[in-house]
Copies of this chain bind each other. A is one copy, B any other.
Amino acid sequence: MTELESLREQLKAFAAARDWDQFHSPKNLAMALSVEAGELLETFQWLSEEQSRRLPAEVLAAASDEVADVLLYLIRLCDQMGIDPIVAANRKLVANEAKYPVDKARGNSKKYTEL
């Protein structure tokens, strides 16, 4: 069992023990994931980009906690939707290679539709 699968199984058991499947619809889990993404964002909202590259230890620890929340809801959402996040991510990486050819995208932050 991979690390992600282990987390998935622990989350499933966690929810089952608390009878939380009733709350864990994909709709609600996508909301929870977005809420946590917002909390992660809060860490950075008044920092410069440079500051965000050199976070003090306590800010880094707080950001790690929010990253963990995002990942846990993502895993739980995938489980409830019956999709494998690793497969989806690998498929997307291949698509991105085609969307962002090196020669056009180098040093350029434009969206692929504008390259």
Size range of the interface on A? Answer: 35 or more
Bound-state Cα–Cα, A83 to B67, Å: 9
Bound-state Cα–Cα, A83 to B29, Å: 24
Bound-state Cα–Cα, A83 to B47, Å: 19
CB proximity of A65 to chain B, nearest CB, Å: 6
The answer on a CB contact under 8 Å between B85 and A68 is yes
Complex contacts, A86 vs chain B, CB 8 Å: 3-4, 7
A interface residues (Cβ-Cβ under 8 A, vs B):
2-4, 7, 10-11, 14, 17-20, 22-23, 25-28, 30-35, 37-53, 55, 60, 63-65, 67-72, 74-75, 77-78, 80-83, 85-86, 88-93, 96-97, 100, 102, 105-109
